[in-house]
Every structure is written in structure tokens, then in C-alpha cells.
């Protein structure tokens, strides 16, 4: 085994161990801070902050090991598609369009992306969280 392949193996093992150590899909979510609040529903805000803001917010700060996921590498384009930091500046029509897109992506299971959640387990959505997001997206945009 060469030094480079050994180093690659150690890095992969480290990513796996660190990633497994952060997996807490049933843990209580942190309360959303009022400056980032997207909705008056604190549970929805907490889900958005935990599972969406890393790529869809100007304040997103994913763990170092998640940065190797191809979809995270493209996160600047994700922010161009939907940036929750700009949510308050969206008019009702734009919010309605974004809510429809969120519903489609969450309903299809494409958000958060599997290659990202494989490394950042805390971003994974439980079935209850998905249903809560889908319920939120079905409400009229304000």
C-alpha cells in the first residue's frame, strides 16, 4: 500500500467516523433565531436551519467533511436558486413559487441531497419533518 493510498484511507475513515458521530436524526432541533425566521412556526424554522441553510442561505456553514459532497460544492448555485437569507425580500408570488419548489423537492426526496446527507447526517429529514415541511409549503405565501 502506498503512502498516498494509506493517507486517502485514513481521511475516508476519519470522514466516516466524524459523520457517524454527528448522526442524531431524532435529536431535538435547535430553536430558530428570530433574525433567520422564515415562518412563525418554530419547528419549521428549526428544520430549515438544520437541513437547508447550509446550502440555501448566505449564513450557511456546513461541517468541513460535508464540503466533499458534489451538491455542496455547487452550493453557490443553490443559493442563487433559493436563498433563505433573502426570503424577507421576496414578494408573495416569488414566495409561492419557492414554496412549490420546496414541496416538489422534499416530496420527491431530492432535498436535502443524498450525497450531502451521507456526510452530514444532521441535515437528513425524518418522515415527520418532511410532512411538517410539506404542510408548511401548502399554506398560502405571506
- The domain locations on the chain are 3-25+38-137
pLDDT of residue 100: 97
Q: Give me Rg for the CA atoms of the chain.
A: 16
Q: Would you list the DSSP string of 39-63? A: SS-HHHHHHHHHHTHHHHSTT----
Q: Does the predicted TM-score (pTM) go above 0.75?
A: no
Q: What is the pLDDT of residues 3-43, one digit of tens each?
A: 544 434 434 434 443 343 333 333 333 333 335 689 999 99
Amino acid at each position: 500500500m502506498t503512502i498516498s493510498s494509506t493517507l486517502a484511507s485514513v481521511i475516508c475513515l476519519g470522514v466516516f467516523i466524524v459523520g457517524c458521530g454527528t448522526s442524531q436524526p431524532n435529536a431535538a432541533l435547535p430553536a430558530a433565531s428570530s433574525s433567520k425566521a422564515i415562518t412563525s412556526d418554530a419547528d419549521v424554522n428549526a428544520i430549515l436551519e438544520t437541513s437547508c441553510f447550509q446550502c440555501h442561505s448566505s449564513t450557511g456553514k456546513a461541517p468541513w467533511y460535508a464540503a466533499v459532497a458534489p451538491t455542496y460544492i455547487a452550493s453557490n448555485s443553490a443559493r442563487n436558486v433559493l436563498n433563505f437569507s433573502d426570503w424577507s425580500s421576496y414578494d408573495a408570488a416569488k414566495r409561492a413559487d419557492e414554496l412549490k419548489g420546496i414541496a416538489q423537492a422534499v416530496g420527491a426526496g431530492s432535498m436535502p441531497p443524498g450525497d450531502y446527507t451521507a456526510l452530514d447526517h444532521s441535515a437528513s429529514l425524518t418522515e415527520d419533518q418532511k410532512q411538517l415541511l410539506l404542510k408548511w409549503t401548502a399554506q398560502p405565501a405571506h
